[in-house]
Structure 1
Amino acid sequence: MNIAVCGLGRAGKELARKIVLETENDLVMGLCREESRTAGMDIGELMGMPKFSCNMWKISECEQVLLDKKVDVIIDFSGKSTSLELVPLCERVGINLVICTTNFTEEEKKYLCEMGQKSTFGLVYAPNLTLGINLLMEFVEKLSKILPEFDFEIVERHRRDKPRVTTTAKLISKVIDRGETPISSIRTGGYVGIHEVTAASEEERITIEHESFSRQAFAKGALMAAQFLYGKKGFYEMKDVIKNLESRLEN
């Protein structure tokens, strides 16, 4: 696949590095906000690697470049305002989009779904990228249905400057579907991300924990979503990517 990456923060750089060094895919361009100082720079230079003629482009100036470079998918690790700019762009040019950003309102999520369903391009909405966290949510949802007498609590740990509360914790609460599930947010040190769910009754307790050791887990999930989307159109979520993986393993 020919891949463009939007947003070269911690996770975006990890993704770009993985594409270049560990996959058969091609990183052909980067995208950035209008006010970004990275416009025109070589991605290799931004990652502390040798230059490899792969430049950053402002979203407002990239439409024809996307077509010229035959981009198959844009993987977005920017921020929601930038993501919302990418959606109509991808609809116009027919290029698939994996959105890895968070904090969308319910109305904005509805907009993403409606745009993805227009069938001119494929869109994966993936605020939770890792296989492990998606499997945790699937298991917790089953626990909540099977064990109605159990109480649930969520504890999440992240680096000290991570905003509270994470979208992932809110989504775990949503699949538990018990109203306002208690969420404790701990902000210390350099945690990449830990989510722990405890279900307890008067007689027993179940605790499930997922920890990301490295942002490589996010990069791996993003590439899995992009590969799943190849040749598809419509709106999808990471649960669809996981189901597709399960189906392939069963056959």
Structure 2
Amino acid sequence: MKVGLIGFGKTGRAVASVLLKSERTRLQWVLRKSPTPTIETAAGVLGIASDTPGLIHCVDDMDAGHFLDRHPVDVIVDFSSADGLTYYGHEAARRGIAIVSAVSAYPENKLRLLHRLATSTRVLHSPNITLGVNFLMMAAKVLKNIAPQVDIEIVEEHFKSKPEVSGTAKVIAGTLGLEEDSIKTVRAGGIIGVHEILFGFPHQTVRLKHESISREAFGNGIVFALDNLPRQRAGLFTVEDLMRPYFTLDDPEGRWRDLPRYATA
């Protein structure tokens, strides 16, 4: 699968490293805001040997239509900002290029744009595309359905310089019907990201916790998403949509036996 990556910050670079090493993806190019004084490749910057090194381009080099005509891909992976969608969205949808966005916070007008684009191509949006966080949210919803009156607390921990409340924590709160101002935050050292949901029962406590050990977890989530994207022409999806078939515990007919498996190696 030919992949284009938008965004080459710390997380974008970690995602690029996973895409370059995966046998199922071919990183064709990387787009970033800042121009490069010399011709660079993602593989060269990251020190990874690859047949498709991922040439780095600047968004100011040319408009998205001409760029995608010259550098066609099957899917665009977006780890940039809310403004990135304005640059490539319509041109990608016109060409039937799938869009996988992991931008954590879109304003309302950009969310509406995602919905419009999804009428022409496949669009997946996940504020946190790690497999663990999405499993945590699905498990939390199941437990709340079982015990709707249980006390629930959300705690998120991040590196000391992160000023705002985690976008993932806000999504978790919204999913569980909690107010954003109820989220507890911890800022210390270089913590990449920890999210914990505490369920307080009268005589027991359940804690669901996810910890990001490295940013490559986002790349693993991208590969899972690419492996499991529905094959239909268009539609708007979440990682939960892709994970739902795996939540079938009893499968006498082997319906998910041949589904792609998450690679742990």
> What's the TM-score once normalised by structure 1's chain length?
0.87
The alpha-carbon deviation at position 226 of structure 1 amounts to: 2.3
How many pairs align?
Answer: 247
Partner of 1:194: 194
Cα distance between partner residues in 2 of 1:15 and 1:110: 26
The alpha-carbon deviation at position 74 of structure 1 amounts to: 0.8
Aligned 8 A contact 2:20 2:48 in 1: no
Q: Which runs of 5+ in 2 are unaligned?
A: 249-254, 259-265
SS in 2 for 1:102: coil
Cα distance between partner residues in 2 of 1:69 and 1:63: 10
The alpha-carbon deviation at position 244 of structure 1 amounts to: 4.6
Cα distance between partner residues in 1 of 2:69 and 2:31: 14
Aligned 8 A contact 1:154 1:181 in 2: no
1:133-190 deviation digits (Å, cap 9, x = unpaired) = 1111112112223223321110011112223211111111112114457211111111
- Which letter maps to 1:239? E
Aligned 8 A contact 1:157 1:186 in 2: yes
1:43-80 deviation digits (Å, cap 9, x = unpaired) = 23332457966322234524334334431011111111
Aligned 8 A contact 1:128 1:238 in 2: no
- 1:1-251 alignment, distance < 5 Å: 1-33=1-33, 36-38=34-36, 40-49=39-48, 54-59=54-59, 61=62, 62-116=64-118, 118=119, 120-179=120-179, 182-229=182-229, 231-232=231-232, 233-246=234-247, 249=256
Q: Which runs of 5+ in 1 are unaligned?
A: none
Aligned 8 A contact 1:152 1:182 in 2: no
Cα distance between partner residues in 2 of 1:38 and 1:242: 38
Describe the shift of the 1:244–1:143 C-alpha distance in structure 2 as closer, same or farther (beyond 3 A). closer
Aligned 8 A contact 2:76 2:99 in 1: yes
Aligned 8 A contact 1:67 1:93 in 2: no
The alpha-carbon deviation at position 202 of structure 1 amounts to: 3.2
Aligned 8 A contact 1:149 1:201 in 2: no
Identity, in percent, stands at 28
Describe the shift of the 1:3–1:200 C-alpha distance in structure 2 as closer, same or farther (beyond 3 A). same
Partner of 2:262: none
Greater alpha carbon shift after TM alignment, 222-231 vs 45-54? 45-54
1:109-140 deviation digits (Å, cap 9, x = unpaired) = 23312321x2x221100112112111111121
Greater alpha carbon shift after TM alignment, 80-89 vs 97-106? 80-89
More helix by proportion, 1 or 2?
Answer: 1
Greater alpha carbon shift after TM alignment, 122-131 vs 85-94? 85-94
Aligned 8 A contact 2:68 2:92 in 1: no
SS in 2 for 1:173: helix
Cα distance between partner residues in 2 of 1:24 and 1:112: 26
SS in 1 for 2:83: helix
Describe the shift of the 1:179–1:10 C-alpha distance in structure 2 as closer, same or farther (beyond 3 A). closer
Aligned 8 A contact 2:151 2:200 in 1: yes
The alpha-carbon deviation at position 245 of structure 1 amounts to: 4.8
The alpha-carbon deviation at position 216 of structure 1 amounts to: 1.5
> What's the TM-score once normalised by structure 2's chain length?
0.83
SS in 2 for 1:219: helix
